[in-house]
Copies of this chain bind each other. A is one copy, B any other.
Amino acid sequence: MRIGELAARAGTTTRTLRYYETRGLLPARRDGNGHRTYDEADLTLLRQIRTLQDFGFDLEETRPFVECLRAGHPEGDVCPASLAVYRRKLDELDALIGELQAVRAKIGVRLALAEDPMCELGGQGL
């Protein structure tokens, strides 16, 4: 299949596929006209990339998963490098969620104080 069809089947764009190729993430064969040619396995790789991107992974972080699939594994996340990325991502997410919750709490306090400056947040007006 050619680039347009692959893009359509994966719900993305040709520009994205060319970009992945420049990153060395999804290289393509070429036909006689110089057109890129892909097969079903490439669709699988692409879907793996897209899924992880949707999760907020950087492109580079998807590489171990793609290489894992390319190595013949049925899933991209069974390889040690992929698992390491998962674990790092969980740590990052936990840290980020924690920071966001802290910020949320601070803003909540400030909002309450600004809405009712007499309120000391303990319920006792000062």
Contacts and interface: CB of A to CB of B under 8 A. Distances in A.
A111 B96 CA distance: 19
Interface stretch (A7-15, A27-35, A37-45, A102-110): A102-110
Interface residues of A, number: 27
A10 B76 CA distance: 48
Contacts of A89: 107
A103 B106 CA distance: 24
B94 A107 contact: no
Contacts of A108: 90
A96 B86 contact: no
Contact of A77 (B77, B78, B110): B110
A58 to B, nearest CB: 14
Given A78-B117, A83-B115, A117-B78, A104 B110 contact: no
A4 interface: no
Nearest to A54: B103
B97 A100 contact: yes
